[in-house]
Amino acid sequence: MDEEKQHFDEMHSGQTGVRLPYSDYQAWFGNEDAARLSKKSKEAEAFFRQTGITFNVYGQAAAQERLIPFDLVPRILSNREWTKLSKGIEQRVRAINAFLHDIYNRQEILRAGRVPVELVAQNDAFLPQMMGMSPPGNVYTHIVGTDVVRTGENDFFVLEDNARTPSGVSYMLENRETMLQMFPELFQKIKVKPVSNYPKNLRRSLAACAPSSCRGKPTVAVLTPGIFNSAYFEHSFLADQMGVELVEGHDLRVVDGHIAMRTTRGYKVIDVLYRRVDDDFLDPLNFNPDSMLGVPGIMDVYRAGNITIANAPGTGIADDKAIYSYMPDIIEFYTGEEAILKNVPTYRCSEPDSLQYVLDNLAELVVKEVHGSGGYGMLVGPAASKKELSAFAAKLKRKPRNYIAQPTLSLSTVPIFTKKGLAPRHVDLRPFALMSPGGIDITPGGLTRVALKAGSLVVNSSQGGGTKDTWVLED
């Protein structure tokens, strides 16, 4: 416990003991038998294994499919805390969507000098094929996952935006389902806002973004790269929960200027395609010609206005980590407001002065690839050896444009259940926002990821992290 004392503990307060959002839970937990809870923890693991809730780890042939560890102590937020978070996320999602529309049309923010032209023009995530395109309802970011960290009672920071194909929502839903099954009495004592309506809201939100060519009730489908993708469980889970078809590229073709899927009764037109395939693999005629995962000609159908692709191609420019450093300017430019949620201070290694500072202070910083995700390709300076620091410095000097650096934040902790009782571990939070022409809907809670190793700041499942149920309390 000693090494964690300097971090904000979301459950325990030094002055008053247990913080108010956790008071009812603590009263329940204090009367629980440790052996029973340990048994419940094993039951949860068996449930996840039986349900097939796994993810793949690339590059590790010996253990391709893994179970994400689940911790049975929930992460609890008061309604007041959630209100601030959700307002900040909504503001951010609106600004990101406006930025994308601007970047692919009038480019006013570039002409105003608020974002450097080269940061967009030389960015691999920028798609020239999207220039002049306005998707149905002007919605680019249909689903956004915003990674939020906490450093104090009222201090929340956005760590990054996930606007391409954000994952993890199936774990949010299954974590709640597991807790409801294991501890039904707990939910009778404590009033927690539900998350189970997410699939229904997702389908409704996607259908509301159908193209104007759609006649009647929109047909929605989920496009997956296939069973070897790390998030395949989520793709099939969401398709099942929404009651729509799960399709692969070879199930689809262009029919009379529309995208249609193969069925037992012939081909059926799709109006909205929730794609979980990256841009580069979406259309071999327009992007990577070797792709076997996409649909030849889908971009031409899209440009003709005969299908909605969610999220829109080219949204990756908005969650680029170099663009992230300009988010306070982007929010102010499009909303006229200051950002409700702060950015983490960010050093752009493409700038010589920043690069020199990062090289001089590498042992104290976290360095990330501009296009990286899943915790891969990053350096956590305080946890790195001299040899690792030296090797990373060489990589930085070779390709400084590929990296940004941030200070090591004092992330908040939430207790996890261990054999020795409760122990603090660092967490982050990924709430999920749905955008349609009718507005933005944010599910109360989200996916809490937890670093299971004492002192570790890396919460990604691919790097050994686990997950928790996230509770937002009713008033």
Q: How confident is the model at residue 62 (pLDDT cuts 50, 70, 90)?
A: very low
Work out the end-to-end distance of the chain between its first and last CA atoms, rounded to an integer number of angstroms: 32
Per DSSP, the three-state class of 6 is: coil
Domain 212-306: top CATH class? alpha beta
Domain boundaries, the chain: 212-306, 346-408
Q: How confident is the model at residue 44 (pLDDT cuts 50, 70, 90)?
A: confident
d(CA 33, CA 22): 18
CA 337 from centre of chain = 24
What's the mean pLDDT when you consider all of the chain?
91
Q: CA 52 → CA 197, 231, 237, 413, distances in Å?
A: 21, 12, 10, 29
Q: Do domains 212-306 and 346-408 have the same CATH topology?
A: no
List the beta bridge partners of residue 277. none
User: Taking 90 as the threshold, does the pLDDT of residue 319 lie above it?
Assistant: no
Determine whether 401 is exposed, middle or buried from the number of CB atoms within 10 Å of its CB (0-12, 13-18, 19+). middle
Alpha helices in 216-288 (DSSP H): 232-242
Tens-digit pLDDT profile for residues 446-467: 999 999 888 777 777 666 689 9
Share above pLDDT 90 across residues of the chain, in percent, rounded to a whole number: 77
Tens-digit pLDDT profile for residues 106-127: 999 999 999 999 999 988 899 9
User: Taking 60 as the threshold, does the pLDDT of residue 63 lie above it?
Assistant: no
Question: Does the global pTM surpass 0.85?
Answer: yes
- DSSP state letter for 217: S
Q: How confident is the model at residue 372 (pLDDT cuts 50, 70, 90)?
A: low
Task: Judge: domain 346-408, CATH 3.40.50.970.
Answer: no
d(CA 369, CA 373): 8
Determine whether 149 is exposed, middle or buried from the number of CB atoms within 10 Å of its CB (0-12, 13-18, 19+). buried
Tens-digit pLDDT profile for residues 248-265: 999 999 999 999 999 999
Q: Supply 205's token pair.
A: 């939100």
Q: Supply 381's token pair.
A: 């300076």
Long-range CB contacts (< 8 A, 24+ apart) of 280-288?
281/225, 282/309, 282/313, 286/129
Alpha helices in 183-326 (DSSP H): 184-189, 198-207, 232-242, 298-303, 321-324
